[in-house]
Amino acid sequence: MGFKDKAYEFLTNPKNVRNSAIIGVFSLIFALVVGIIIAQFDPDGYSIFENYISDLGSLEHTPFPYLWDFGQMICACSMIPAAFYLKKLFFTYSKNEGDTNESSKPRLFLSYLCFISMLIALLGMFMAGLFSEDRTTALNLHLAASYIVFGGLAITSLFFGINIMLYPSPIPRSLGIFMMILPPIACGIFFTTFNKFSEWILMFSIMVWIIPFAIILLKHLNKEIASQNKI
């Protein structure tokens, strides 16, 4: 087995995917919640109605911006195995459900679209943490990162939603409908207005599908791990 095969096997190993996903989700949620609490000690305070999410990564709005910066970067790196695993899962799940060969190529193509868009979103998330508001540079890299992460997540939501609607998957189709419609619309509003309110609406619309999606994925991973342990 070559290095490439070993690396892919490591990345898609259910235990590694589960552990890294837990670290990623916990890091982001912890950094967001605790970051908002810490930001209250800033002289100007912090409010989701008056501040951008990115303000959590600036010394002008919080005494400790590095928590949000590192939370994003840790989450982005930790979710890479999940991207590889989901590509594999969404393509092979239909075969286990008796899917026909005629749908294999479109299914594979759609799985790759989900995979690529998720990697783009993770790249944007890492960039948003690395190039925070205080380190945006003359090229305004933080703004570019914001567009990449939010646009990437909205497109990921759309592609996964289409996949869920067209082919068998462990995700309920009711959630797939939401993923196809709400996040892309919220993203379009955010890109045309780029104001605080639309940014938080987009954030919440993404979290609404990511949380149940992650819970279902963890349940599926635990079942797969349990079946491997029996062998």
pLDDT in tens, 99-121: 545 457 888 899 999 999 999 99
User: Residue 78 in contact with residue 50, Cβ under 8 Å?
Assistant: no
For residue 223, what are the contacts with CB-CB under 8 A and spacing of at least 6? Answer: none
Q: Is the pLDDT reported for residue 55 higher than 80? A: yes
pLDDT tens digit string along 134-168?
999 888 999 999 999 999 999 999 999 999 999 88
- Dihedral sign for Cα atoms in the order 30, 187, 166, 12: negative
Letter for the amino acid at 40? Q
The pair of three-digit structure tokens given for residue 17, joined into one six-digit string: 């995917």
Given this model, what pLDDT does residue 49 score?
A: 85
**Residue 96 pLDDT level (bands cut at 50, 70, 90):** low
- Give percent of the chain above pLDDT 90: 72
The whole-angstrom distance between residue 168's C-alpha and the CA centroid of its chain comes to: 22
Q: Is the pLDDT reported for residue 176 higher than 80? A: yes
Q: Is the pLDDT reported for residue 24 higher than 90? A: yes
Residue with tokens 């501040």: 51
What is the distance between the alpha carbons of residues 115 and 119, in angstroms, rounded to a whole number?
Answer: 6
Q: Within 10 Å of residue 219's Cβ, how many Cβ atoms?
A: 11
Q: What is the mean pLDDT of the chain?
A: 90
Q: Is the pLDDT reported for residue 131 higher than 60? A: yes
User: Residue 219 in contact with residue 14, Cβ under 8 Å?
Assistant: no
Given this model, what pLDDT does residue 94 score?
A: 58
Show the beta-strand stretches assigned E in the chain. none
For residue 67, what are the contacts with CB-CB under 8 A and spacing of at least 6? Answer: 31, 34, 35, 38, 56
